[in-house]
Amino acid sequence: MSKNYWLVKSEPSAYSFDDLISEEDMSAEWDGVRNYAARNNMQKMKVGDQVLFYHSMIVPPKVVGISVVVKEAYPDNTAWDTESEHPDPKSSPDNPIWYMVDIKAQARMACSVSLNEIKAHPGLTEMVLVKLSRLSVQPVTETEWNYIVEMGHPEKIT
DNA sequence: GCCAACGTTGGC
DNA sequence: GCCAACGTTGGC
């Protein structure tokens, strides 16, 4: 199986790329996803798949970094934690419904890539980000990935 | 199974 | 803050 590419969105006021970098080992659980299409995409993620980190709900919204999957989908225990931010009463340890993965920060875009730039790029008009803007975990094709990396000039985080 | 009503997301 | 687009819920 060859490597696949993805994009995840986060509101930086809730959880930013810098927050991920600040974590021990620069990795964290990607929990709180409560959308079936997004969950299904997470369940397809394999260790080593690379993930664009996108900041939404800011001006301008933009891709700010690159992360990598370090743990494949497993039950999101925050779903049945009534104290968590997104509890789902239908979820339980026996019937988790919702899943999360672990991702680790890899590189920061020296030039973050704004949604405007993405929309303006002739090779990126079919990106899920453009077509289905609300999907918070989405696939990225290898071609799209290469264009974004070309524009973003990622610098490895040490 | 359909569809109206409602809730949420996210760009602007 | 507004609104369009989409997802979910629930009555029938």
CB atoms within 10 A of CB A46: 13
CATH classification at residue A28: 3.10.590.10
A134 CB and strand B closer than 7 A: yes
Contact A99/A42 with Cβ under 8 angstroms? Answer: yes
Question: How many separate domains does chain A show?
Answer: 1
A61 CB and strand B closer than 7 A: yes
- Alpha-carbon span A152 to A102, nearest angstrom: 23
CA-CA-CA-CA torsion sign (A118, A68, A136, A4)? positive
A60 CB and strand B closer than 7 A: yes
- Nucleotides of C strand lying within 7 Å of any protein CB atom: 5-8
What stretches in chain A show pLDDT beneath 50? none
Q: Rounded to two decimals, what is the model's pTM?
A: 0.95
Q: Give the residue among A119, A137, A143 at the shortest CA–CA distance from A62.
A: A119
Element (H, E) at A117: helix A115-120
Locus of tokens 């918070």: A136
The per-residue pLDDT for A16 is 97
User: Is the bond preceding residue A60 a cis peptide, omega within 30 degrees?
Assistant: yes
A135 CB and strand C closer than 7 A: yes
Locus of tokens 């969105």: A9
Full domain range(s) for residue A136:
5-156
The per-residue pLDDT for A147 is 97
